[in-house]
Structure 1
């Protein structure tokens, strides 16, 4: 799997993305953000990212990982609640966590108050899959987290993003038109989307993570 991404904001600190290897040649992809800007948001995001990496090392399913990550967010919010009055707002956030399996050529995705990804197929068609969505991070109410699995072919592009990307001059249709050119390098596609953002004023991080899927070589698999 190959990937590229960017983060853009006029005042940011609360959004981030990452990719890391899992057992069985799988790859985890995560995009998320927390409310607020500045040092407090950046610090909280760092704590959340550390928790994601620690939980991913346990090889949890995406929905179970988000459930435990939500528990972490609630604990952080409780710690914040005892701070003196006037300190930062309560912790809330969103997260998309996905695991790509190159052997099964599937991607299992769980969402916590986060928009689903855009998937661009090698034939130029694009789709936004219907996936179950859990409550935002930091919520102690709402439905349990659930995961959905989509099948992806060789050369498909998975586009994970924050909701703020589509509240700028972008639109789902604009993003899909850019991603339809799946033969272009991922960095070029990211640059194209960033260029289309223009000089929009953004008060939260705009994140885009692109990943191109590749199956595991058949001659390196034994059953």
Structure 2
């Protein structure tokens, strides 16, 4: 798609913020006016549009995609989003550890365990650790507490959480990002520990490198999205 606008600005409208292209508000794929809850997020999205060249690179506008997901899909699809996130409780990557080699076992313990410890401190939820690849049962009490945490998020942070969890394979890391205690660059290193270990052992693979580049960009956008939402907001 060719660029069809010259100027990108922001405006406050009815308690929210809009991004304007030549004075007209951006519309979502469902033709709704894109509104966001903070000036910081509107400005960040405006930068995405302002940096576009003659051809719009829509996949690169990750903040816009996150925001339009909220406007188009929530609250109607809030319950499916919650359930998809909660599916990761029993399969959280951080809970499934290698039994060998010893240096990978040690590295997983050093890098992953602190985030399980953080989860317990932050939400009084202790997730068990297994040395198996088969999904294991998690105590109903842990499930219930995490369900309350997820359902307590406003739609904007729920979308950010969903994106972070699906990107990293970990509900724990997703919550840490939404709580703004896990920066995007560190989230990448924690989530890709096994993959980076394999790169160390066997060298770079072009496909893995491309995936890493995309994942870094996705996590950076999620982190920026969460930061721009502060202070807490509602729909």
TM-score (norm 1): 0.26
Q: Which one has more relative contact order, counting CA pairs under 8 Å at least 6 apart?
A: 1
The answer to which structure has the higher helix fraction is: 2
TM-score normalized with structure 2 length? 0.25
